[in-house]
């Protein structure tokens, strides 16, 4: 899979729900991941941000 062909991401909340895990557990696993591993930070207005995963990251 080419990493520059990302067409969608799922938020950490959605991934946790789909996997039946807690957001905290997924966050603990994701915090050490790099962009190449399929995780990105999505920034919103102000200081809002959330971790999101590509298909490769899940």
Whether residue 26 is predicted with pLDDT greater than 70 in this model: the reply is: yes
Alpha-carbon Rg for the chain in angstroms = 11
Q: How far from the centroid of its chain's Cα atoms is residue 28's Cα? A: 12
pLDDT reading at 4 higher than 70: no
Q: What percent of the chain stands above pLDDT 70?
A: 93
Sketch the domain layout of the chain as residue ranges. Answer: 6-53
Rounded to whole angstroms, how far apart are CA atoms 3 and 21?
A: 26
Q: In whole angstroms, give the CA distance from residue 21 to residue 18.
A: 8
- pLDDT given at position 7: 85
The kind and range of the H/E element at 50 are: strand 49-53
As a whole-number percent, the residues of the chain with pLDDT over 90 amount to 69
> Which pLDDT does position 5 carry in this prediction?
77
Q: Using an 8 Å Cβ cutoff, are 54 and 40 in contact?
A: yes
């Amino acid at each position: 899979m080419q990493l520059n062909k990302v067409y969608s991401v799922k938020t950490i909340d959605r991934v946790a729900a789909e996997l039946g895990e807690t957001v905290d557990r997924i966050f603990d696993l994701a915090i050490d991941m790099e962009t190449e591993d399929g995780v990105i930070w999505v920034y919103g207005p102000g200081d809002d941000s959330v971790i999101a995963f590509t298909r490769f990251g899940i």
